[in-house]
Homo-oligomer: A and B are copies of this chain.
Amino acid sequence: MKFVVVGGVAGGLSFAARARRLDETAEIVVFEKGPYPSFSNCGLPYYVGGDIPDRETLLLNTPETLHSKLNLDVRVNHEVTGVDAKAKTVTVTGPDGSKTTESYDVLVLSPGATAARPPIPGLDSPKVHALRTVDDATRLGELAGDAQTAVVIGGGFIGIEAAEGLAKRGIQTTIVEGSAHVMPPLDKEVANMVTGALGSLGVQVVAATQVKSIAPAADGPDLVTLSDGQEIPADLVVLSAGVKPATAAFVEAGIEADERGYIKIDEHGRTNLPDVYALGDAVTQETAVTGAVRPVALAGPTNRAGRLIADFILDPENARPLPKPLGTSIFRVGQMTAAMTGANRAELEASDIDFVTIHTHPTDHGTFLPGAQPMQLLMHFDAKTGKILGAQGIGGNGVDKRIDVIATAIRAGLAAPDLIDLDLAYSPPYSSAKDPVNFLGYVADNVLSGRLEPWYPWEFEELGEDAVLIDVRNHPEFNAGHLRGAECIPLGELREQAAEVKTKVGEKTVYLSDDTGANAWIGAGILTAAGVSAKVLSGGVNTVFAYYFENPGAVLEM
């Protein structure tokens, strides 16, 4: 059996290594168009930022080590430029430009993607680099050595990680993001906290704005002009505004792809052509929650796909299908961690799923032990079945843990109240007796059982002048920032005043608020017992601060 693998980084090498482990006698040839196999593309921003001081550290293996350990034939600087699916051969362009032909029994495509290059005048300035390859990182690292200013085009994962690293090096850095907020996969109230964390690092974020042009300068910084007219000097520019799959040669050979060139695969990684498989950043997959078909360019699923495709080919009886991706992802920004899993609000709204969202503001561990760090969590779940659809979090320690636990729960098909039953590890340095994940289950259970009706910051402006808003915090906290028009009735006084409230509001709904939602929920019980209809602000005024991060004064009196 002869395998030809296109791409020698995450997906391709993962396939090749697994194929060798399953078949000691197979011939395995890996073509990598770049000079390095098996480098950590996820590590590149950390090299530019200086967290990884030594470039060699990024290079996990060489063709020699891969030959010695796994008997792989890895050919770097070799690009596969054509496929003849009938003859079962590929055309390969070598480092000297010469073309050769290689036959295969099975062809595995993991060609990856390259940086999208929007039509911005000046984008070919020598100060502008994408961050997809070791060479990109090397050049940006060199520029960063002397830079005082930087512009990052695109506030996705790579853009934010690069900006974090540049800011830590003392470089005045600006992220220009075309969407309404950085990290568009995050819901607004979480993404805003990323903007805040970037601000704490000294990174300026200009959202809902495009780069219009770049004026290269021979001496001194380039001048980056934005669609709002701003001009920003930049000693280096990171281009991280999306990608396009490197699949032209394969599409031309008849491999089925979508209109953007992403290859279509089935649940075992098969393309439409016989004995041709594909994986990684260049393919689309059906996502787990909404069923939307899209690329999910993440290292974890790609590594896994390499293994599972090898299993399917070499040991089909023990093989498992590629799981539908959840899109679980994470990034660090200063002292903060932001992470997400499953579908976000926009994806759910685009689907026909009837969903509910809850917000909580726990700490990573019990506040009685010094050092507890706050976090913000939100979870989306099916309004009828309770099935967990997605979750996001941002905060200090422990955000990664909670999102991983929820990602596991989603994969296992748990409903939100099932989170109550999780036996999570508690002692004071690690969690609370009710872990934040258990607590999400408690809140979801209250909602699904009809006991707790949440309302949301984005509904506030539609409530109208005569809406009844009651904040159950004590007066000092109330005075520090409350919804416009809210009345303060501290929880300790609400029982006595419940009858009075009923007389005053009659059949109208009371919109309750507090800091995080917990006390307003007790308040709702008190009011309900008095015959008053009451809703609880999801996550309390903390969620309002997050949602209206740029202008809390729009809805809050402070």
Contact = CB atoms under 8 A, between A and B. Distances in A.
A424 interface: yes
Given A323-B421, A412-B408, A52 B368 contact: yes
A438 B161 contact: no
Given A409-B412, A412-B409, A491-B69, A420 B304 contact: yes
A357 interface: no
Nearest to A406: B408
B519 A69 contact: yes
A434 B300 contact: yes
Interface in A343-378: 366, 368-370
A20 interface: yes
Contacts of A423: 288, 298, 300-301, 323, 325-328, 341, 407, 411
A430 interface: yes
Contact of A424 (B404, B421, B437, B445): B404
A329 interface: yes
A10 interface: yes
A339 interface: yes
Given A328-B425, A412-B412, A318 B369 contact: no
Given A407-B424, A433-B42, A522 B332 contact: no
A495 B71 contact: yes
B300 A157 contact: no
A13 to B, nearest CB: 11
Nearest to A157: B427
A196 interface: no
A58 interface: yes
Contacts of A53: 370
A215 B408 CA distance: 54
Copies of this chain present in the complex amount to: 2
A24 B525 contact: yes
A182 to B, nearest CB: 15
Contacts of A429: 332
A488 interface: no
B68 A528 contact: no
A435 interface: yes
A445 B317 CA distance: 12
A24 B529 contact: yes
Contact of A46 (B68, B337, B428, B528): B428
Contacts of A421: 304, 320, 323, 411
B329 A434 contact: no
Interface string A436-449: 01100010010001
A43 interface: yes
A458 interface: no
Given A315-B449, A430-B330, A521-B21, A403 B425 contact: yes
A77 interface: no
A332 to B, nearest CB: 5
Given A341-B425, A423-B328, A522-B70, A304 B369 contact: no
Interface residues of A, number: 96
Interface string A88-108: 000000000000000000000
A58 B424 contact: no
A25 interface: yes
Contact of A526 (B24, B308, B339): B24
A197 B467 CA distance: 59
Interface string A243-260: 000000000000000000
Contact of A433 (B10, B288, B426, B495): B10
Contacts of A413: 412
Given A157-B427, A323-B421, A423-B328, A43 B369 contact: yes
A10 B369 CA distance: 17
Greatest chain B CB density within 10 A among A10, A20, A422, A445 is at A422
Contact of A525 (B20, B328, B330, B521): B20
Nearest to A527: B24
A222 interface: no
B329 A427 contact: yes
A64 to B, nearest CB: 10
A303 B404 contact: no
A463 interface: no
A521 B426 CA distance: 35
A298 B366 CA distance: 15
A423 B302 CA distance: 11
A300 B40 contact: no
Contacts of A298: 423, 426
A51 interface: yes
A422 B411 contact: yes
A49 to B, nearest CB: 11
A430 B449 CA distance: 36
A24 B495 CA distance: 9
A541 to B, nearest CB: 18
A11 B513 CA distance: 28
9 contacts: A24-B526, A52-B369, A68-B491, A328-B424, A329-B425, A332-B429, A400-B401, A401-B404, A407-B422
